[in-house]
A = this chain, B = another copy of it.
Amino acid sequence: MSRPIIGITVSVEVNQKVGMTEQKVLFVSQEHADGVIQAEGVPLYFPFTTDPKLIQEYVEQVDGLILTGGWDIDPQLYGEDPLPNLGDISPERDRAEMALTKAFLQAGKPILGICRGHQLLGVALGCTLYQDIGSQLPTANEHFPKIPRNHEMHAIQIEEDSKLYQILGQKQIGVNSMHHQAIRDYPSDISIVARARDGVIEAFESKQYHNVLGVQWHPECMIEETIHAQKIFQWIVEESKKELVKQL
């Protein structure tokens, strides 16, 4: 029996050029793949596309989806005009990931959203965002401190009646933190399952989709440091294995 394929989304850095004519360079960290590998999944990265037929191919041939971190999400996607301190946005990536996310949701396949991926998954499910925590929620702590990527910087509290608690087996963990946006409002079928001490939302689950999870921190940077980072990746691989079984 084959291991499940986990598809990972990539970032685009339009300012990076190799030749004289602009080349659309995609990048991602090896870290996400290493997280999948240690959990015995088969990682592969997606290019950008909004072609429905190709997306349908991906939904059929890929067992689980990881939505990765990156620049800000276009606020028009949750019905807002841009506010001061909105960061760089990537409309093409927004379109490609939103199409992929909706196709995986519709197919009932598992999704793990990390940082921007957590926010994009939230928007796909009806949430709105703080365009910039610093200016819109001035009482919040700093969520983009200048720290090593693998350093646990603050604690989060986890709801006991959550899937995340089942995965981690802990009511509190320490996490790294590299974001300036966060989920603000959410519909009733979203369960907020973790928050930072200042109230910022750190993880959510869906009542409608049993196998999707969004985490605001970056477990892929702490695979070697903490068991709880490994468990997040084990969860997405395990959920994806079930899809594999279904296909057979």
Residues of A bordering B, CB below 8 Å: 2-3, 5, 7, 10, 12-34, 37, 42-49, 51, 54, 57-58, 60-62, 74, 76, 81-89, 91-92, 134, 141-142, 145-151, 153-154, 177-178, 196-198, 221
Do B26 and A28 touch (CB < 8 A)?
Answer: yes
Q: Which of A19, A61, A86, A88 has most B Cβ within 10 Å?
A: A19
Q: For residue A48, which residues in chain B have a CB less than 8 angstroms away from its CB? A: 30, 33
Contact of A33 among B7, B47, B221 (CB under 8 A): B47
Do A148 and B19 touch (CB < 8 A)?
Answer: yes
Interface residues of chain A: helix, strand, loop or mixed (majority): loop
CB distance from A15 to the nearest CB of B (A): 7
Q: Which 6 A-B pairs have the closest CB atoms?
A: A33-B47, A19-B149, A27-B27, A45-B45, A44-B44, A24-B30
Do B145 and A82 touch (CB < 8 A)?
Answer: yes
Extra pairs beyond A24-B31, A81-B142, A88-B146 (4, CB < 8 Å): A37-B51, A83-B141, A86-B146, A89-B151
Q: What CA separation (Å) do A38 and B69 show in the bound complex?
A: 28
Do A47 and B47 touch (CB < 8 A)?
Answer: no
Q: For residue A51, which residues in chain B have a CB less than 8 angstroms away from its CB? A: 37
CB distance from A229 to the nearest CB of B (A): 14
Q: For residue A24, which residues in chain B have a CB less than 8 angstroms away from its CB? A: 29-31
Q: For residue A147, which residues in chain B have a CB less than 8 angstroms away from its CB? A: 19-20, 82, 88-89, 91
Q: Which residue of B lies closest to A8 (CB)?
A: B47
Do B42 and A58 touch (CB < 8 A)?
Answer: yes
Do B87 and A146 touch (CB < 8 A)?
Answer: yes
Do B2 and A61 touch (CB < 8 A)?
Answer: yes
Q: For residue A2, which residues in chain B have a CB less than 8 angstroms away from its CB? A: 57, 60-61
Q: For residue A149, which residues in chain B have a CB less than 8 angstroms away from its CB? A: 18-21, 23
Contact of A178 among B19, B32, B46, B58 (CB under 8 A): B19
